[in-house]
Homo-oligomer: A and B are copies of this chain.
Amino acid sequence: MPRTRLRRLPERQVDDRLALDSLLDEALVAHVGVVVEGQPVVLPTAFARDGDRLLLHGSTGSGWMRSAAAGAPACVTVTLLDGLVVARSAFESSMRYRSAVIFGVLDRLPSEERDRALELLTDKLLPGRRGELRASTRSEQRRTMVLSMPLACWSLKVSDGWPEDSEEDRAGPAWAGLVPLRLAADPPVAAPDLEAEVPLPASVEAFVAGRNLPGPHPDPGS
């Protein structure tokens, strides 16, 4: 988030490919920006990282995807909100976050690469689920469009600091600290049309357990 100050920012530009990969592998949603007749359009989409490229998928009937696949410049932004930074003044209050901005051109994946890409996208959404399901049919594969963008031109910002209050505010009565935030999973709910005897699959159990681990405790010495 742009912060409301001019001095040294606790957010920092990070030139670390491992940190980029970790953010891209953890986040479930990206925001894709394209320009349509001079107007910026920003849409959310599922995505996955495949080595040195991003994969996005959508319906072959999606207008923005068809337009993006025509080689227009695009921007894919992935943000995770990690916490509220609660300072001793409104001015110093902010958020902990990680945000990657990736520029490039989206290309439609050739069909011979599409099936593996769809497997990666399925694994990203719910790891292990693919092995619990029947294989996709040719018809299903044909109805899906996959776009790719190289991870070549990117920028990563990480805000992971503590409140930086003035000496005067630190001497005052207000609390300061951090409220860690994370995307948590509530207990799974069976579909209305599910037969009662079908057990919860291992993929869903693992996903819910993983989402409900407390995050790494923020290091007060960092």
Q: Which positions in A face B, CB cutoff 8 Å?
A: 1-6, 28-29, 31-35, 38-46, 57-62, 64-65, 73-77, 79, 81, 84, 86, 88-91, 93, 95, 97, 99, 101, 103, 118-119, 122, 125-126, 129-130, 132-134, 136-137, 140, 143-144, 162-163, 165, 169-170, 172-194, 198-201, 204, 207-208, 211, 214-215, 217-218, 220-221
Contacts and interface: CB of A to CB of B under 8 A. Distances in A.
A194 B64 CA distance: 49
Nearest to A192: B220
A45 B1 contact: yes
A39 B218 contact: no
12 contacts: A29-B81, A33-B75, A34-B40, A35-B40, A132-B174, A174-B198, A175-B190, A176-B193, A177-B204, A179-B207, A182-B184, A191-B220
Given A42-B42, A132-B175, 7 more contacts: A1-B45, A1-B58, A84-B125, A86-B126, A88-B133, A176-B191, A176-B198
Given A189-B220, A198-B174, A4 B181 contact: no
Given A33-B40, A35-B38, A73-B40, A58 B175 contact: no
The quantity of this chain's copies bound in the complex is 2
Nearest to A169: B134
Contacts of A2: 43, 45-46, 57-59, 62, 64-65
A91 to B, nearest CB: 4
Contacts of A61: 6
Most chain B beta-carbon neighbours within 10 Å: one of A3, A191, A200: A191
Contacts of A1: 29, 44-46, 58
